[in-house]
Every structure is written in C-alpha cells, then in structure tokens.
Structure 1
Amino acid sequence: MSNNTDLSLSSYDEGQGSKFIQKAKETLFPPPIGMAGFAAIFVYGLHTLKSRGNMKMSIHLIHMRVAAQGFVVGAMTLGMGYSMYQEFWTKPKPWKSCCACFS
C-alpha cells in the first residue's frame, strides 16, 4: 500500500460559503439565478397556500415543486447554452489565422 504525501489539501481548507462565492463569480448565470428563481417560487407557493381554493394540499405542493424544478433546469440549460456559445462561436478559429491557403 503506497502512501502519497504529495496531495494538496487546499480544497478542504475552504468553507462552503467561500466555494459558493467563488463558483458564483466564475459562472455568473446558472447558480444564482436558479437559486433565486427557486426561492421566488417557494415564497409564491407559501403565499398562495391559503388561497388555493378546493385544491388538495398535496397537489398544490406537487405543482410548486415541478415549477421550481423547471425553473432551475431552465436556468441550467440557458447557462450551458451560453457557455457553449462563448466557447465555440466567439473564440477565433486557430486554423483560419495560421494558414494563408484557407483565406
């Protein structure tokens, strides 16, 4: 059994809050917007809980859960599409600038 002492433990030194802030700065779109949308739908669901009419509580909760999950998945999809756009379409193509035969 080998014991590797070269491993860095810097990832264990960071707290969860600092990891979240760093990740939010790196990828601005999906996490904060998805979490804010989830919280907004949650608050809206609590607000409309009393005025749901004759709808059962379980059905109301299922609708709110589906709405919140849909918002988060939508935010993740838009964020992924935006990052793919940045990576594949906004970067200059290396083969266009290196050879004169393609221009």
Structure 2
Amino acid sequence: MSSDEHWSPVEDDSQASKLARKSRDAPFVPIGLAGCLAVVGYGLYKLKHRGNQKMSVHLIHMRVAAQGFVVGAITVGVLYSIYRDHIKQKGNSEPKK
C-alpha cells in the first residue's frame, strides 16, 4: 500500500461540526434549545424568590415552560419548512403573463 491510499474523512466528525451541520439544516432546533436553557436559567434565578410556592410546583412550572418553548420553536420550524417547500414552490412554478 502506498501512503496516498490512507483513509481520510470527508468532513470532520467532531461534535461541534455535527451540531453546526444540523444547525444549518434545521435552524429552529438550536433556537429551541437556547430558549429551553434560558427558561431553565431564569427558573433557577427565581428559585430563591419563589415565596410560599412549593419546590415541586416551581419545578413543574419550569419544566412546562421549557418544553413549551422547545415545542413552539420546532412547530414554527416545521411550518416554515412546509411554507418553503410547498407554498413558495407553487408560487414560483406559475407561468408569468
């Protein structure tokens, strides 16, 4: 075997490159994750000032808010993909007069 026949990856398969590639393909997923982390951070900040609220109720509210943000971002991403692939495509295929 010559030295020119060694295997080399086409693309760097590190976690950062995979995340960057997925972010380009579906940009609303990282937005959802960032929103989830923001809600969790805000919830942890407000944990100190929760008043008479029980810890379990506070954690349930945090979880629901974080999940709601992620589901909302993914829903917006799916709707955008449907618009881009189907509705916008129909508008471009009509013949001009």
**What band does the TM-score fall into relative to the shorter chain?**
0.7 to 0.9
- Paired residues in the alignment total 87
Instruction: Between the two structures, name the one with larger relative contact order (CA 8 Å, sep ≥ 6).
Output: 2
Distance 2:21 2:94 in 1: 35
Runs of 4+ with deviation above 3 angstroms: 92-97
Identity %: 50
Gaps of 5+ in 2: 1-8
Query: What is the identity, as a one-letter code, of the residue corresponding to 1:90?
Result: K
TM-score (norm 2): 0.78
Query: What is the identity, as a one-letter code, of the residue corresponding to 1:26?
Result: D
Describe the superposition over 1:61-88 as per-residue Cα deviations: whole angstroms up to 9, x where unpaired. 0100010000000000000000000011
Superposed CA RMSD: 2.3
Distance 1:36 1:90 in 2: 28
Distance 1:58 1:87 in 2: 43
Gaps of 5+ in 1: 1-9, 98-102
TM-score (norm 1): 0.74
Per the TM alignment, residue 52 of structure 1 is displaced from its structure 2 partner at its CA by 0.4
